[in-house]
Amino acid sequence: MAIEDAAADLAAEFGGPGPEDMANGVAVLAASLLAQANTLASTAAALRKSDTDHEGAIEAAAARASLALAIAQTLAEAGPAARPGLIRAAAEALDVSLAGAVTQLRAAALSLPTDDASARIAAAQIAQDIAHGLA
């Protein structure tokens, strides 16, 4: 029995998020990460237009925006077991610490654009699973 099947059976038995809830959780978490990426990219653009030198802050905001996009893509395209490794690789390529990546993921899980409680629970569980995989 696959881990996903066992998790789905356990969720069904105890009333936790089922497969559809998990799919909705992935979607809403990805949407939250896309909003985060937009905010960070806007911040980088505003800093670039300012008269003072904010090169470090611009690079950090741009890297974190790129990481948010990479995490959203990973959620949409990769299975649960592959997600931590892909996110780790993206964070390393963008020179963002793993702690920073986990913080971004958890922040996205706390600012979900939905009132669907089951999707919120599933998104929090997905974020937690990835965080554990990155530890």
Domain residues of the chain, as ranges? 21-134
Nearest one of 30, 109, 112, 41 to 71, comparing CA atoms: 30
Q: Pull the structure tokens for residue 111.
A: 């600012």
Nearest one of 90, 135, 116 to 29, comparing CA atoms: 116
Residue 71 clears pLDDT 60, i.e. is over it: yes
Judge residue 114's burial from the number of C-beta atoms within 10 Å of its C-beta, 0-12 exposed, 13-18 middle, 19 or more buried: middle
pTM equals 0.85
Across 50-67, average pLDDT:
93
Task: DSSP letter for 116, please.
Answer: -
Q: How far apart are CA 10 and CA 55, in angstroms?
A: 49
Residue 8 clears pLDDT 90, i.e. is over it: no
